[in-house]
Structure 1
Amino acid sequence: MSARTRGQTLLTLDEPSLGDVRAALIQRRLGTARPTTAGRLPRLVSTGRTGSGKSTLGNLLVGSDDLLRSTGFQDCTDAAHVLRFPRGLTYVDLPGVAGDDRLENFNRLALGLPQAPQWPTVDALRVLRYEERRQIADDTHPAAGLPPDLLRPDLVLYLCAPHRGVGRAEEPYIVDLLGAIGSERVLFVLNLFHDEAGRRLATPQNLEDAHAALARWHQEAGRRLDTSRIVPMDCRSGAGLAGLLSAARDCLGGNAALTEIVTYQHERAPRLYRREVQQAVVRFAAQVAAVTPASDATAGEVPMAAARRLVEYADRLAGGGGRDHGPWLKRFEALTAKELAGLRKVATEPIIERRSKDVYEDVPRYDWVKETDYSRPVYETRRRKVKVSPGDFDEFLDGIGNWLGGDGFVAERWVSEEVLVGYKKKKRQVVTGYDQRYVRTDHWDETVGVREVAVTYDPLGVRGVALALTAWHAALSTAAGKAPGPLDAVRRDIHRRIERLGATPAALAAKAEQTLPEDTGRLLEAVLRAGETGGSE
């Protein structure tokens, strides 16, 4: 079964079958040539309408797809095929009944039933014998000379294909079979055919009709139908084979050799089945590793699709849905977004804007001012009298001169001197302000930020595997009736385990028990117990 995302990613989960596991164990046991103290294994003779799956059942037991010719077409078996297994079981595949030629009389001859008068009488029977998956003999025996230990059954398996109906053409043969062999030595096997998508072809009404027809024909033969002698199984996949052998054991009074085989598979099948389930889930998770998200919008789709697919599987193993996975799925979605952020790669480019600016210059504004020019002093000549000092000969002569001039001899004289009376003024130009004058306009490019131009992702890789297996652990917890623990702690544990193993995602399935947390196996065991039958066959 598959899980498809909105895009094109297809995740396929190949769900193992408990029936396949049981069939493989039975094949292994039957194919092991070892002495047994449990007694003789029986001779099982299969009969039934042409195309009901007799040869398919023989191929299933021997573990081969094509040892016995089984095309599904009308009357594909024209001889008695005797398969001898190393452990002693004998399986005889007889020609079909209710056909349109004389093959039914071959069948009747082999079982010692009266031949049908509407078909030509058969006076010899071809017998092909096989051991260890190869033909060892091809003999033709006259009707009076059939070896009694070759074909005579310990138990007859009458195969029906209920989806095709159990027709009245089978009635005369079944009545004769019950009369000659006895109802206690006949098992009716309802072969549950499936289509390519795995859907069962037989409807509940088909099964009910088959039971009713068998009950009616038992009554006609003067027998009573024991419903425990009707066994459903899929002869192609092996689902139900263990039930068939258990019913055969009971019919044969508890045949010890069959009991040993049934017990062998019963003890080992659950553990092997759990291991195969875990390996299938790890293989499923490994597919996530190769996915590369295309965009932010779709990045989480694959992990979420994987989680939902594993939820469906866990619920089905537990016997059906009805469990609320919503709370942890919301937390899982947030965990997925956080993990994917580490794989996100952003390509950016600068945001550039064109800038422009008018350029001005300052032009000074001048005015004239007057100010004192201290470098240009102004002097004035002034006269004043000064006393004559008698001790100064020059000044004494000046006094005599004043006397001779008629001024009399005085003790003063006039002197002239330059006196600073100020400074000249000057005019100077000063800047009283500025005026702006346009000069030019400058243009330039300026980076004002960055913008995302592309988002890409690395493949999900180990992160994707760890996320998917975290979802499986949470799905099992919920299906087992337990609240999932912290998802990120589980994810980290799984991630560390994968890195420690150092294996590629594709190789992890062989190490599933080392990849998954220690309690995953216990959770799966609890889920299978909750499914009542240990998981669907």
Structure 2
Amino acid sequence: MTFQFNHPSLSAIRANLIIQKLVDFPSNVDRLNIFATGRTGSGKTTLGNRLIGIDYFMPSSGYQDCTDEINLIKFPMGLNYFDLPGVCSDDRLENYNRVALGLEQVEDFPFVENLILAKYSKDKTSEKQKFSISEFSLQQFKPDLIFYLIAPDKQFLSVDCTYLRDLLQQHCQVIYVFNMFASKETSSEHFASPQNISDAVNKLTKIHTSVLGKTSQPVIVQVNCWTGEGISELIARSGEMLGSEKGRLFEELIRYQSEKTPDKYVCQVKEEILRILAHAACQKPDGTSRSGETLLEDCQILWEFISSLLSKHQEMPSFVQQVIKAQVYTIISQYTEHQYEKVTRQMSKPIYKSVPVFKTVYEEVPDYNRPIQVPRFINKSTSNPFKKMKNIAKYGSTKKETVVYETVGYYNKTVSRQVHDGYREEYSHTEYWQEETGEQKLVGTTYQYFRQSAIVLLLALVHLLISISINDCESYKDVEVRYQSLYESYFLKVSKLPNFPIEPTEKLVFSILSAHLEKLFKDDFDEVVRTVACS
């Protein structure tokens, strides 16, 4: 989210100091009566509430005819602020207003015989008293000064002219207060246009000079009754109009706010700078190309703030932008932590084993189951006498001729057998493993808050702009050297701030910085800002 400065307003500071002094002022001055008059809805009650410093101290609805009695705020030092009913709207209330100021009642309007005075105390309660016209005049409720409130965004009509003419014929101590109505939220865009203001000035000037003479020019002060801006000038012009005796109170108020305004202004400026320091400290990079834009934007916003404060109104020169941008990206790199891991690749290798190889051989071998037999005749003798006799008869001998077979060898047969014939390599399995490639890959990124580094970045920029004239820096190198010197100086101070959180919040960082202001701003900073407040 883009940071937004609440630009300190010297006029608002002066107004608040006057309001503070009005409440606390000792009761040592003569009674002073100020009457607030004007058309209904012009802001009389709001101005009274602003002077007391409390919104809605006196009842005000913000609509027409919100005051149906005379409201009186009695300030401690003797100042009485009378808030009169509005004119030019309700006939009866206009006569109420006229009677309070000692003017003739309008015959065509309802006649007023009694007045109700509501005295307001600090607890917002009111004590009401009823007076007849004669009794009211005996109370010494005579105006020493009249604030005639005008809403310039509304037309100054003929009835306003008639009432003003009657008023000036009785009272010449009149200050015309232009209530510059604006949005309560922004207070920046006024409802009245320049043409509205010009028309109102011309009309009242014409009436004023026609009654009091051309040598008496109207005193006109623009005030925002919601914010208090312009009250300081209103008090100053009131003191001038009342003179030395009655105006002593206003002189004291002006003296008080003149003494206190510079310090208050310095404090508010520092407070705004602390706010943006806390805002920047709680930012962190996001990993995109826009990571540095938040810090650079804060630097640009801060530059514009300080530049307008010093009434320089100059854009950040390109060579200053270069210095700041370089520092911003250095900070981003410091608070961006990348996690890497080594890149590996899967490797594999087939594994082989040696397997014995056999071959079949054939060979001829004797087949002992197939012998080679040759017949042979032999004479075989016998011991049996009978057989001998038989053999003699048959063969002529006692021996018998017999055939026997004799094995002279064997037939061959072919047989086969396996014989070792060496080895062969055979696939067994594949082995796998991871091998580093020498490269790394990003596996994650951690982003840290900028913390003290962002604070130092902006503080150095503040003091760079405060302490030098940028136009005197002719080169990038000049600015870089000066800025780096300031950066290093403040880094030593800020890095030693105690209890700085790892997970910062803007509220906590602001509190820590506020407790160590003396380490963050040099004396020349206060001197420069005070000079602005006094100018």
Do both share a fold (TM > 0.5)?
yes
Distance, in Å, in 2 between the alignment partners of 1:478 and 1:168 is 57
1:186 and 2:186 aligned: no
Change beyond 3 A, Cα 1:164–1:333: farther
1:164 and 2:146 aligned: no
Letter in 2 for 1:192: M
1:24 and 2:8 aligned: no
- CA deviation after TM superposition for structure 1 residue 342, in Å: 1.8
SS in 2 for 1:140: strand
Paired position in structure 2 for 1:523? 528
Deviations 1:490-528 (A, max 9, x none): 2333333334442651212354344223432233345x2
- CA deviation after TM superposition for structure 1 residue 75, in Å: 0.9
Query: In the alignment, is the contact (CA less than 8 A) between 2:300 and 2:316 conserved in 1?
Result: no
**Bigger Cα displacement from structure 2, 459-468 vs 119-128:** 459-468
- CA deviation after TM superposition for structure 1 residue 10, in Å: 3.5
Distance, in Å, in 1 between the alignment partners of 2:87 and 2:450 is 57
Query: In the alignment, is the contact (CA less than 8 A) between 1:161 and 1:191 conserved in 2?
Result: yes
Distance, in Å, in 2 between the alignment partners of 1:147 and 1:109 is 9
Letter in 2 for 1:229: V
Deviations 1:329-388 (A, max 9, x none): 3211111211222211213344333445678999xxxxxxxxxxxxxxxxxxxxxxxxxx
Residue of 476, 490, 495 corresponding to 1:494 = 490
Letter in 2 for 1:155: L
Letter in 2 for 1:520: F
1:232 and 2:228 aligned: no
CA RMSD across the alignment:
3.0
Distance, in Å, in 2 between the alignment partners of 1:163 and 1:320 is 33
Residue of 320, 327, 342 corresponding to 2:319 = 327
Paired position in structure 2 for 1:422? none
Letter in 1 for 2:524: D
Letter in 2 for 1:97: V
Deviations 1:258-288 (A, max 9, x none): 1111111112212221121112211232122
Paired position in structure 2 for 1:60? 50
Paired position in structure 2 for 1:454? 444
Distance, in Å, in 2 between the alignment partners of 1:271 and 1:359 is 87
Residue of 320, 342, 348 corresponding to 2:340 = 348
TM-score (norm 2): 0.76
Query: In the alignment, is the contact (CA less than 8 A) between 1:348 and 1:450 conserved in 2?
Result: yes
- CA deviation after TM superposition for structure 1 residue 462, in Å: 2.0
Distance, in Å, in 2 between the alignment partners of 1:150 and 1:136 is 20
Change beyond 3 A, Cα 1:328–1:338: same
* Residue correspondence of structure 1 range 182-331 to structure 2 within 5 A: 182=172, 185-195=173-183, 196-201=185-190, 202-221=192-211, 223-224=213-214, 229-254=219-244, 255-319=247-311, 321-331=313-323
Distance, in Å, in 1 between the alignment partners of 2:345 and 2:91 is 92
- CA deviation after TM superposition for structure 1 residue 112, in Å: 0.9
SS in 2 for 1:151: coil
Letter in 1 for 2:64: Q
Letter in 2 for 1:207: I
Distance, in Å, in 2 between the alignment partners of 1:200 and 1:479 is 33
Letter in 2 for 1:241: I
SS in 2 for 1:47: strand
Paired position in structure 2 for 1:74? 64
Query: In the alignment, is the contact (CA less than 8 A) between 2:453 and 2:491 conserved in 1?
Result: yes
SS in 2 for 1:284: helix
Distance, in Å, in 2 between the alignment partners of 1:349 and 1:134 is 71
SS in 2 for 1:139: strand
Distance, in Å, in 1 between the alignment partners of 2:140 and 2:495 is 59
Change beyond 3 A, Cα 1:327–1:162: farther
Paired position in structure 1 for 2:503? none
SS in 2 for 1:164: coil
Query: In the alignment, is the contact (CA less than 8 A) between 1:249 and 1:258 conserved in 2?
Result: yes
Change beyond 3 A, Cα 1:225–1:438: farther
Query: In the alignment, is the contact (CA less than 8 A) between 2:73 and 2:82 conserved in 1?
Result: yes
Residue of 95, 111, 116 corresponding to 1:126 = 116
- Runs of 5+ unmatched residues, structure 1: 1-8, 363-435
Paired position in structure 1 for 2:393? none
* Residue correspondence of structure 1 range 502-521 to structure 2 within 5 A: 502=498, 504-507=508-511, 508-509=513-514, 511-521=516-526
Query: In the alignment, is the contact (CA less than 8 A) between 2:27 and 2:78 conserved in 1?
Result: no
Distance, in Å, in 2 between the alignment partners of 1:41 and 1:472 is 48
Deviations 1:217-245 (A, max 9, x none): 22443533855610112111111111101
Change beyond 3 A, Cα 1:513–1:122: farther
Letter in 2 for 1:521: D
Distance, in Å, in 2 between the alignment partners of 1:100 and 1:40 is 35
**Bigger Cα displacement from structure 2, 57-66 vs 116-125:** 116-125
Change beyond 3 A, Cα 1:177–1:332: same
Change beyond 3 A, Cα 1:177–1:469: same
Query: In the alignment, is the contact (CA less than 8 A) between 2:58 and 2:124 conserved in 1?
Result: no
